[in-house]
Structure 1
């Protein structure tokens, strides 16, 4: 065996958990089922109204003549297509009208909400400035010599 073959076997064995008693590679034969199509079953109704299966049928082919297309079908289809196009255009006009009315109705409320949010942001910024000023006035930072150390006490030498 070449070293490449051995390395290939090792690579293939990483996820292979089927081994024999002496820990040698064991690849049991796997029965691969033949490709089969769906089971075909044909049943017909007999004179008594009961269904009877016909054995030995491998496939079924149904032949059917296409119904004739009326001569005026193309004309009727064209008229239907035009009516559908007109209905879609009318629907689009209605949707645009509804959206425009909605926009006009909501515009003053949205503008007022924008002004209110801007005022709230300004007040919040002013309150934050006051809070920072009050924090420094009430509690100045402690000098390092007064800070509480973390952990166990240090030994003095």
Structure 2
């Protein structure tokens, strides 16, 4: 391939890329005939890997990649320490659940002992509310009634207006 046809092929490839504007020109490497890679307009993705010497080497014409790695072996001492830690956390959770259960039992017993006194107080408050309703101080929902010394449109604050 001559250098002129190579340049024309780059221009033709760039004219298909309209991501910036109609006259955007981008350079891309020439595609090989019969390549199985997915063609990209404007660029070709590259994958770099590190070799044994620590140098980065390009792996050309990559359209997808999958990573596979093998986890390192776990130190047996670490595994034993981790197992002891998990067991101690499990025992602490059991102890906490036991303490919460005991606390709930104490609260339930306290509420059972308080129930008669609370019921008596509720009956007393109910009697006071019924007396207030009979006296005309509040309605059946406990809302205070308007004073009768002024019309509904007049402010409830301050003394009533003189007529």
- Normalising by structure 1, report the TM-score: 0.38
Structure number with higher relative contact order (C-alpha < 8 Å, ≥ 6 residues apart)? 2
* Structure richer in helix, relative to its length: 1
